[in-house]
Structure 1
């Protein structure tokens, strides 16, 4: 009996020793794989040859960490690219009016100019200065909105009446551009939770963008969906055909670098950031030559 017990203990010990050696070898193999991956000699993820739940779990977590690192690195590179593009664009947008201002100041210093020319040059300088001021104000506002400690005070707002009030304020702007918008608002009241000041800013930015860039027929509607209230603007946008309309919300993006002097290129980006802060969404879709911008809030009772 003692001999049998001894044999069993030796067998168990041998099995444990073999398993330990196999674990040791597998850990060494995983370490080698991880080393090659960290040195960028391979993009292959960890795999386990030995069937062991603990080792498989470890390899899974290593692979998960690798995926998180790749995602973080991708986001970092994209942020760096966007930042460089933003710097390039804001440099262009600041340099253009500044160059113009300096040029007209030199003209004003000339002794040969007439009083009429002087008034004309002063008007141009004022216009370029206002453009520069608007650009810097928008840039500062966007940086404040996107800061982590920026918060909004949400409350229950009745949207139909609020939208009607905002739209009335844009009557003259649309009329000056010879645009007669097709406005479709419901008779019923709809309520959402939002910050009123931020909501007004979002809607006004969208309408200003339409005034500046829309041509032809413009449809502005507000509808109740199953769980959301959707404010939608649809207008012709032939210049955007074939492009990524989501770029419209990027800082300083413009489909036309010869945009009007009053455009800062930040209006839609500010609107999207505010919607995100309010828990809503702002998206764009292209249907043929029609651009559809959709602003969506969650309905409340």
Structure 2
């Protein structure tokens, strides 16, 4: 009887000691978490007690803290991008508007010749077209990135679509004195995509190439194991690694003065459309050559393809 009582007392004492240690450890963890939340320390929770469940709890709390920090960083980055986008858009809208207003004043006030009147009207018309193109691009990007915007998925023979699109750019390349090296496979290659979206992506990439290309231009399309890949390579000696990392950002232009005719949205639109089609669009800089790489999922008869967002 005495032995049983002794065992019971010993067990109760050990349990009490364990509870006291556990309570002390929880108090210490609470203090650590409070200091971390108050930003007085960047040190995460540590558990000195050998308790798997408590260690697991501390690990989950640390993970949640990481997620909160990451979410806050993403929020700040998004806010900065939005502020920069608004600033850039305001600049791009204000410039043609100021020019339009100035020439309208000249037309109203100055005694001008018929030739000068036609010249001023041409300038107003061109600035209006630039403003319209900018607003159309901004509206299109907003529409594409909307969760409600759906794409129509179907089988598209890319070799035919690319041939047709490239023919339409023949005169533009010729005017720039560029003769692209075009390589398309002889056999048809089909992808699972939205035809209008694919055309828009390819056109935007070609327009970007025409604006900035110098020297040799290479356009190569080929079938990979699970994707169809389009590569457009051109000389871009003025580009830096930072430029390439920012190419797909909204309103980003290599022209630091933003004096060109582009809105800085063409590549953003192309990137968003590729994401909608479960494809990829990336850029790489190798020496003085910029490479744009587009990949679409191949068409596989009978395969259940995911619906696009």
TM range (shorter): over 0.9
Alignment root-mean-square deviation, CA: 1.2
Q: CA shift at 1:36, angstroms?
A: 0.2
Is the aligned partner of 1:194 residue 2:196?
Answer: no
- The aligned residue for residue 168 of structure 2 is 169
The aligned length equals 300
Q: Runs in 1 of length 4+ with deviation above 6 angstroms?
A: none
- The aligned residue for residue 183 of structure 1 is 182
Instruction: Quickly say closer, same or farther: Cα 1:259–1:244, change in 2 above 3 A.
Output: closer
* Mapped partners of 2:255, 2:293: distance in 1: 22
Cα deviation digits, residues 40-83 of structure 1 (max 9, x gap): 00111111010111110110010000010111011111111111
SS in 2 for 1:239: coil
Is the aligned partner of 1:203 residue 2:202?
Answer: yes
* Mapped partners of 1:135, 1:98: distance in 2: 12
Query: Relative to structure 2, which stretch is displaced further, 144-153 or 237-246?
Result: 237-246
- The aligned residue for residue 283 of structure 2 is 284
Q: CA shift at 1:261, angstroms?
A: 4.8
Instruction: Quickly say closer, same or farther: Cα 1:43–1:209, change in 2 above 3 A.
Output: same
Work out whether residues 220 and 232 of structure 2, in 8 Å CA contact, stay in contact via their aligned partners in 1. Answer: yes
- The aligned residue for residue 218 of structure 1 is 217
- Length-normalised TM-score, structure 2: 0.94
* Mapped partners of 2:272, 2:164: distance in 1: 23
- The aligned residue for residue 246 of structure 2 is 247
- Length-normalised TM-score, structure 1: 0.97
Query: Relative to structure 2, which stretch is displaced further, 259-268 or 8-17?
Result: 259-268
Work out whether residues 246 and 283 of structure 1, in 8 Å CA contact, stay in contact via their aligned partners in 2. Answer: no
- The aligned residue for residue 80 of structure 1 is 79
Cα deviation digits, residues 231-250 of structure 1 (max 9, x gap): 11100101103434020100
- The aligned residue for residue 98 of structure 1 is 97
* Mapped partners of 1:242, 1:218: distance in 2: 20
